[in-house]
Amino acid sequence: MPTWMVLAKGPVFLFVLTLALLGLLRLALLTTWDIAAAIRRAGFRQIPYRQVALQTISWLVPFGRLHRNRAGYSLASFGLHLSLLAVSFFLRNHLDILRANTGLTWMPFPKPALDALALAGILAATTMLFHRLYAAGSRRLSTPADYLLLLLILGLFVSGYLAGRAWNPIPYDGLMLFHTLGGMALVALVPFTKIAHCVLFPLIRLGTEAAWHLTPQGGSRVVQSLHGAQGRKL
């Protein structure tokens, strides 16, 4: 069995999978804790949960929003998310690996559709990378981790796509070793990087909503705490 297959079916994969799942669970629980504490401190009982849920869904399917600001970047971002999710979770080869490790599997997507999505993903990741590099605003906000993550995702898309092509000029086992190691690194990085938003996204929206509601009369109390009961003119 080639090395990459040993890695993919061996304990290293189980390690990164457990790390990612439990790490995400931990983050979700801690974030929920923080939100609960924020809501309790705010003393605000009328959190608009329905509105938060609707807003979350609207951001998950942002067709109505893509054109509003930086349309190209927004479209690339949406395309990258879509292709990443589809290819990661619905490619038969990936599901075979998952089944070998955990016994779990589900219906795969057709290969031609995933090939097209992989190409879309390569295009989207490249677009986002260039946008980060050449748009001044994005460049200021970007950290090295942002570039490295995008490069890793791009590398995974390219290596995965090439591995299924007969005209692939790179030795298959070497390419698959890179793809396997890169994929496992990405899974392991999920709870430690911004990719954690895959689970935290709805919670963060709820937290943001809660944080914007201060306790009734909270401002006056702050003034009293800072300047005594008499207060003073500000």
Minimum distance between the CB of residue 168 and another protein, rounded to whole angstroms?
5
Six token digits for residue 161? 């796509």
Q: Which is nearer to another protein, 22 or 60 (CB)?
A: 22
Q: Which is nearer to another protein, 48 or 174 (CB)?
A: 174
Q: Residue 11, interface with another protein (CB under 8 A)?
A: yes
A 10 A CB-CB count for 52 gives 18
Indicate left, alpha or beta for 228 from its phi (over 0: left) and psi (-120 to 50: alpha).
Answer: left
Q: What angle do CA 169, 148, 150 make, to 5 degrees?
A: 70
Measured between alpha carbons, how far is 26 from 31 in angstroms, rounded to an integer? Answer: 8
Q: Which is nearer to another protein, 135 or 162 (CB)?
A: 162
Minimum distance between the CB of residue 107 and another protein, rounded to whole angstroms?
14
Alpha helix ranges (H) inside the chain:
3-9, 11-42, 49-60, 71-90, 92-102, 111-134, 136-141, 144-163, 172-189, 197-211, 218-227
Q: Residue 172, interface with another protein (CB under 8 A)?
A: yes
Q: Which is nearer to another protein, 74 or 105 (CB)?
A: 105
Q: Which is nearer to another protein, 34 or 146 (CB)?
A: 34
Among 6, 15, 58, 217, binds another protein (CB under 8 A): 15
Among 81, 92, 205, 213, binds another protein (CB under 8 A): 92
Measured between alpha carbons, how far is 80 from 88 in angstroms, rounded to an integer? Answer: 12
Distance of CA 215 to the CA centre of its chain: 32
Per CB under 8 A, the segment of 81-89, 152-160, 161-169, 215-223 that binds another protein is 161-169
Site for another protein, rule CB under 8 A: 1-2, 10-12, 14-16, 18-19, 22-23, 26, 29-30, 33-34, 37, 92-93, 96, 111, 163-173, 191
